[in-house]
């Protein structure tokens, strides 16, 4: 059960007032009454003692001033009921075996009072005795005072207590009302304002603030709301800026993606360009044959016409036979060019992404040749030794041939580039060599491409598969070749990594049958592992 603040305040005030009222109505009068009675008892006892002392002095010294003064003082007290002098007489038994004390009243004032020596205190009278002993007389002074004054005092105290309790009660009610108003109302207002702020209304303000902690709380609340409002505006502005920035970032991202695609396309175009260069170089040969033999046939046809004009039909037949031979060669080389073009078309076609059974040895061999021819087309002075060790047991494996072909092209291009660079800077007997080796181990086909170039420094080994990373001068490479190759091999659930003189091969590689011809000296070995299925 929830008890609200106003109720708590009222409970507290009522509790305090009730406690005070209990104290004022019961405890205080009770204690005062006891105090009065105690003081009264002491006073009466003191008076009795004084009279007794006066009597003793009067008897022993014949000086009656003390007892006279005490008696006059006591007589004048309106509370006096009686003052008696009791005489103690020792009465022995006849055989003097025992005695008893007889108490008799010697004198009493006022004379109309006849108290007994055994009189004791009760509700209406307080009796006190003070003994005295002299040679002449032994006895006690018995003083009896009525309790009228005490009763009247108690009544007065009771009435005063009731009045005070009532005043306190009403003051308490008033204080409770004021407190409830001054504390509960502002707190409730703060609560309502806080709820509305929580719902989103930042125009809420608390009014009528007092000069105390509640007022400070209200001011702090108003300041908090102002700060919240300001912060919200700033947040909204920031949100707008953020949205604008996000839009710009999205645009930038799209641009980057486009650029990435363009770069990839450029890379592809570059590799295609190199491929085309290789292919073009290959086409050049049969086309040369076609052109040469065509020119020769043109001359032979002219000679044949002349021989026919000269009616040298035998000579003309010989020339015709030569022409036929030349046409056969033209046809052959033309078909060669056709095959090369078809092949080029095959390579230039977009990857379908469909895996198909492909002879990895043939694919590697083909792209090796294309890459080599491509580099030679750019730099006619470049020559390299190409060695291949193909595992005939591999057969066909399930790959996307265009994609794996691109991988081979990238790796072969890098190898030939490395060899060419070393060739340019090396003097002496340097024979650029590339070795391509394939091997099947269980369900994995491993293709190793080794070159005897300068090798890859250890500090950049881990970066070479990162996009846009290149060691080539600006304009010569996009830095995407190996990154794309990495992605293609990974898409085939394979592995691609590189070994240099300093690097360590990964544990999954089986190096038991690899060729050791290039173990001595510098160079790089790219290892591609592909699953058979």
Partner 1 sequence: MKKQTHKYKIPVLLSGKVFLLVVCMLLVSMVSKSQQSTLVAIGNSSDVPNDLALSELKSILMGEKQRWKNGDRILIALMKTNTPLGKTTSSKIYDMTGDELNKFWLALVFQGKAQAPKFFSSTEELKNFVAQNRGAIGILDKPITDSEIKFIRIDGQQSF
Interacting residues toward partner 1 by CB under 8 A: 55, 58-59, 62-65, 67-68, 71-72, 75, 83, 85, 106-109, 111, 136-137
CA dist., res. 405 & res. 358, Å (int)? 11
Beta carbon nearer to partner 1, 8 or 107: 107
- What is each CA distance from 253 to 127, 240, 248, 256, 484, in whole angstroms? 113, 19, 8, 5, 19
Backbone dihedral angles phi then psi of residue 456, each to the nearest 5 degrees: -110, 125
Residues in the chain: 533
Backbone dihedral angles phi then psi of residue 217, each to the nearest 5 degrees: -65, -45
Contact assessment for residue 86 and residue 117, using Cβ atoms and an 8 Å cutoff:
yes
CA dist., res. 518 & res. 533, Å (int)? 31
The two structure tokens encoding residue 385: 């030794």
What residues have CB less than 8 Å from 304, skipping those under 6 apart?
316, 319, 320, 323
> Which stretch of DSSP H or E encloses residue 145?
strand 138-146
Give me the least distance between CB of 80 and partner 1, in Å please: 11
Give me the least distance between CB of 167 and partner 1, in Å please: 48
**What secondary structure letter does DSSP report for 429?**
S
Give me the least distance between CB of 27 and partner 1, in Å please: 43
CA dist., res. 12 & res. 498, Å (int)? 85
Give Cα 226 distance to the centre of its chain: 28
Beta carbon nearer to partner 1, 67 or 126: 67
Beta carbon nearer to partner 1, 111 or 311: 111
Beta carbon nearer to partner 1, 141 or 316: 141
Beta carbon nearer to partner 1, 63 or 291: 63
Strands 433-441 and 385-389: parallel
Beta carbon nearer to partner 1, 51 or 525: 51
CA dist., res. 374 & res. 336, Å (int)? 18
CA dist., res. 207 & res. 222, Å (int)? 9
Backbone dihedral angles phi then psi of residue 41, each to the nearest 5 degrees: -60, -45
Beta carbon nearer to partner 1, 22 or 92: 92
Beta carbon nearer to partner 1, 109 or 382: 109
CA dist., res. 29 & res. 40, Å (int)? 16
What residues have CB less than 8 Å from 368, skipping those under 6 apart?
386, 388, 408, 412, 434, 436
Q: Which residues pair with 417 in a beta bridge?
A: none
Beta carbon nearer to partner 1, 138 or 387: 138
Beta carbon nearer to partner 1, 59 or 360: 59
The two structure tokens encoding residue 503: 């690097």
Give me the least distance between CB of 17 and partner 1, in Å please: 54
Contact assessment for residue 124 and residue 146, using Cβ atoms and an 8 Å cutoff:
yes
Q: Which residues pair with 30 in a beta bridge?
A: none
Q: Which of 384, 430, 436 is nearest to 407 (CA)?
A: 436
Give me the least distance between CB of 136 and partner 1, in Å please: 5
Beta carbon nearer to partner 1, 64 or 390: 64
> Which stretch of DSSP H or E encloses residue 48?
helix 28-61
The two structure tokens encoding residue 15: 């509790």
- Judge residue 97's burial from the number of C-beta atoms within 10 Å of its C-beta, 0-12 exposed, 13-18 middle, 19 or more buried: exposed
Angle at 482 between CA 476 and CA 485, to 5 degrees: 130
Beta carbon nearer to partner 1, 110 or 506: 110
Give me the least distance between CB of 175 and partner 1, in Å please: 58
Beta carbon nearer to partner 1, 75 or 378: 75
CA dist., res. 412 & res. 372, Å (int)? 8
């Amino acid at each position: 059960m929830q008890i609200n603040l106003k109720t708590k305040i009222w409970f507290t005030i009522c509790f305090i007032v009730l406690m005070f009222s209990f104290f004022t109505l019961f405890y205080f009068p009770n204690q005062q009454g006891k105090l009065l009675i105690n003081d009264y008892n002491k006073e009466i006892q003191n008076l009795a003692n004084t009279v007794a002392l006066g009597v003793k002095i009067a008897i022993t010294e014949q000086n009656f001033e003390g007892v006279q003064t005490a008696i006059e003082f006591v007589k004048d007290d309106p509370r006096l009921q009686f003052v008696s002098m009791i005489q103690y007489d020792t009465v022995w038994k006849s055989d003097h075996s025992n005695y008893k004390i007889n108490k008799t009243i010697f004198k009493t004032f006022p004379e109309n009072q006849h108290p007994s020596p055994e009189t004791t205190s009760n509700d209406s009278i307080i009796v006190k005795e003070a003994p005295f002993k002299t040679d002449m007389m032994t006895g006690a002074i018995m003083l009896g005072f009525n309790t009228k004054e005490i009763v009247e005092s108690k009544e007065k105290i009771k009435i005063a207590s009731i009045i005070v309790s009532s005043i306190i009660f009403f003051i308490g009610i008033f204080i409770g009302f004021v407190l409830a108003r001054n504390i509960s109302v502002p707190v409730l207002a703060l609560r309502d304002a806080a709820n509305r702020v929580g719902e989103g209304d930042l125009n809420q303000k608390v009014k009528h603030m007092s000069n105390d902690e509640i007022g400070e709380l209200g001011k702090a609340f108003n300041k908090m709301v102002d700060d919240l409002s300001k912060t919200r505006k700033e947040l909204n502005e920031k949100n707008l800026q953020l949205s604008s920035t996000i839009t710009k970032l999205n645009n930038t991202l799209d641009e980057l993606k486009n650029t990435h695609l363009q770069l990839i396309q450029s890379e592809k175009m570059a590799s295609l360009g190199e491929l085309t260069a290789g292919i073009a170089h290959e086409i050049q040969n049969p086309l040369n044959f076609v052109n040469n033999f065509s020119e020769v046939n043109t001359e032979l046809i002219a000679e044949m016409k002349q021989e026919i004009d000269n009616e040298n039909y035998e000579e003309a037949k010989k020339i015709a036979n030569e022409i036929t031979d030349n046409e056969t060669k033209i046809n052959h080389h033309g078909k060669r060019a056709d095959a090369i073009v078809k092949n080029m078309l095959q390579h230039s076609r977009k990857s379908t992404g469909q895996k198909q059974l492909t002879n990895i040895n043939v694919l590697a061999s083909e792209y090796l040749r294309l890459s080599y021819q491509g580099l030679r087309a750019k730099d006619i002075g470049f020559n390299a030794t190409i060695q291949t060790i193909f595992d005939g047991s591999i057969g066909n494996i399930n790959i996307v041939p265009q994609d794996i072909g691109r991988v081979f092209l990238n790796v072969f291009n890098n190898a030939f580039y490395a060899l060419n660079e070393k060739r340019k800077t090396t003097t002496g007997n340097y024979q650029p060599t590339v070795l391509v080796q394939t091997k099947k181990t269980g369900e994995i086909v491993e293709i190793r491409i080794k070159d005897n170039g300068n090798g890859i420094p250890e500090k950049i080994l881990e970066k070479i598969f990162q996009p846009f990373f290149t060691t080539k001068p600006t304009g010569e490479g996009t830095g995407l070749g190996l990154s794309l190759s990495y992605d293609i091999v990974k898409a085939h659930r394979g592995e691609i990594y590189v070994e240099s003189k300093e690097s360590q091969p990964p544990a999954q590689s089986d190096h038991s049958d690899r060729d050791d011809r290039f173990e001595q000296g510098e160079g790089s070995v790219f290892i591609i592992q592909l699953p058979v299925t």
